[in-house]
Amino acid sequence: MTGNKEALQAVREMDEEVDVLYKHLVNYLAEVSKLQLNEYQTQKMMKLMAAVNDLEQIGDVIEISLVDLGEKRIKKGFKISEATQKVINTVHVVVSDALKAAVRAVVEEDNDFAARVISMKTDMNRLVEQAGMHQAKRLVSEDSGKFEAYSVEVDIIEKLKRIYYHAKRMAKTVVETEEEKVEIKEAA
């Protein structure tokens, strides 16, 4: 929302590290899948693969979409108002918390963290709705360049919403894994 070209390029380069880690994780999980796994282990491996894929998708949203929006802001030469930054930052904080909790849920197989992420959906929807109302008010303001700013701001919020979606999917892999554990125990 406020960074310069160099800062945006630094963010883009961070995704290269994510891509390397993603490749290593996928290769590792591919090797694990070659082992003689029972049904529970196979399901767990598939859930880990899904979580890793969601992390990669989040990296792509940041690297491609959000960085491109920052570059568009710079190219068009407008600033995002402080009020709008506050709205977007509120959504960002919730999304960041959800992502951290989702990663922790997957790494620690923590059902409570997973449930927390999933339950954030109502708050996310409310925040996105509030952001939409703020944007609608902004669009009718007298600011020059309001459409370009509006377009970028709405896209930022949409991309943050998409990151939450992937975090929620990651969390659901933990909840489903817990349910599968119960099913397997009951079947045994």
- Domain of 45, CATH number, reads 1.20.58.220
Count of structural domains within the chain: 1
Res 16: pLDDT = 87
Per residue in 135-180, pLDDT tens? 888 777 666 567 788 888 899 999 999 999 999 999 999 986 556 6
- C-alpha of 82 from chain center: 24
Both structure tokens of 81: 């108002």
- C-alpha of 128 from chain center: 14
Give Cα separations from 54 to 65, 88, 142 (angstroms). 15, 22, 40
Q: Which residue stretches of the chain have pLDDT < 70?
A: 141-145, 176-188
Res 118: pLDDT = 95
Domain that holds residue 17: 5-187
